[in-house]
Amino acid sequence: MKRLISRYLLATTVIGNMTLFFLARKFGWNLELAVLLGALGSFAAAWGLERVLPHERRWLGKGADIAVDLTSAVVVVAIVDPLLKFAGPVLAVAVWRMFGGGSALADWLAAQAFVPQLLAVVMLSELGRYWAHRWHHTLGWLWKLHALHHSSERLYALNNFRFHPLNYLNNFLLGVFPLMLLGVPADVMLGYLALSQPVLMLQHANLDLRSGWLNYVFSTNEVHRWHHSSTPSEANRNYGYTLVLWDHVFGTFHYLPCDNAPRRIGLFAENSDYPASGSYLTQLTQAFKPGCCRLYG
Ligand SMILES: [Zn+2]
């Protein structure tokens, strides 16, 4: 049974979420609710199975970091994300009015059927998110914000929500806002969420998954584990959000078919003065303190 879970959990959750989404679309059910239920189910599977099939037993249990992750989850899910979803369309309309609205790409997109639209949106948003993430690793002022996400010294399901609100805003501006500017319909946006949520919910999970060839397509926990290595040459890889498509294109993909277990997880040696075990507020404000946080190398 454990072998089946290890091999097929990712595929099952992705197919399950997409099936639920397309059924909801076909029968006129509430699409937002379908995506939310799929995401909650994926998170519950990740959280529950960590006790059954852990990648690292020492990462189980209640570390002090759980308070940071839970606080961050509340801030991101209950405050930052709803604010952005409200402000994004308002800002997009303002930009349309300022520049006259419309573009050749928006017109082309609007003329396509649902599935080609969805594929185009996935590739476009993933490209924006890839560069948002890569710049947060290579530009000092952005690394100050992103250090909070990398300060955890273990990987488990809740790490998925550990983001500085300004880091989250930047990801939104490069990954989601362009879609709003293009006037992408809500059901296409929700289709992208139905695809991305199961991958994201499993991405940081402390699960011994062996997803095989899917590691070359999705940003799985096996692939993403390298991204959290405390060794810069391993960590500055695999920037992909849902897919690793742009990592392949820009030469930052890293995956070993046999052993994807970095020696240590956490910040680089150059960031040893970062308060990795501090409270959420301490880490939140650390980004604005002089000297924080040095880039590696
Ligand atoms: Zn990162």
pLDDT (tens place) for every residue of the chain, 297 residues total: 888 888 999 999 999 999 999 999 999 999 999 999 999 999 999 999 999 999 999 889 777 789 999 999 999 999 999 999 899 888 888 888 777 766 788 888 888 999 999 999 999 999 999 999 999 999 988 999 999 999 988 999 999 999 999 999 999 999 999 999 888 889 999 999 999 999 999 999 999 999 999 999 999 999 999 999 999 889 999 999 999 999 999 999 999 988 888 888 888 777 877 888 889 999 999 888 887 777 775
Tell which residue, 138, 267, 260, 121, has the closest CA to residue 194: 121
Asked if residue 272 belongs to a domain, the reply is yes
Question: What is the CA(134)–ligand 1 centre distance, in A?
Answer: 7
Question: What is the CA(150)–ligand 1 centre distance, in A?
Answer: 6
Question: What is the CA(107)–ligand 1 centre distance, in A?
Answer: 34
For the chain, the domain total comes to: 1
Tell which residue, 193, 188, 198, has the closest CA to residue 14: 198
Answer for the pair 223, 260: CB distance below 8 angstroms, yes or no.
Answer: yes
Q: Which domain holds residue 234?
A: 2-286
Cα-atom radius of gyration of the chain, to the nearest Å? 19
Question: What is the CA(121)–ligand 1 centre distance, in A?
Answer: 22
Asked if residue 296 belongs to a domain, the reply is no
Asked if residue 229 belongs to a domain, the reply is yes
Question: What is the CA(236)–ligand 1 centre distance, in A?
Answer: 8
Asked if residue 293 belongs to a domain, the reply is no
Distance between CA atoms of residues 134 and 136, nearest Å: 5
Answer for the pair 44, 158: CB distance below 8 angstroms, yes or no.
Answer: no
Question: What is the CA(235)–ligand 1 centre distance, in A?
Answer: 8
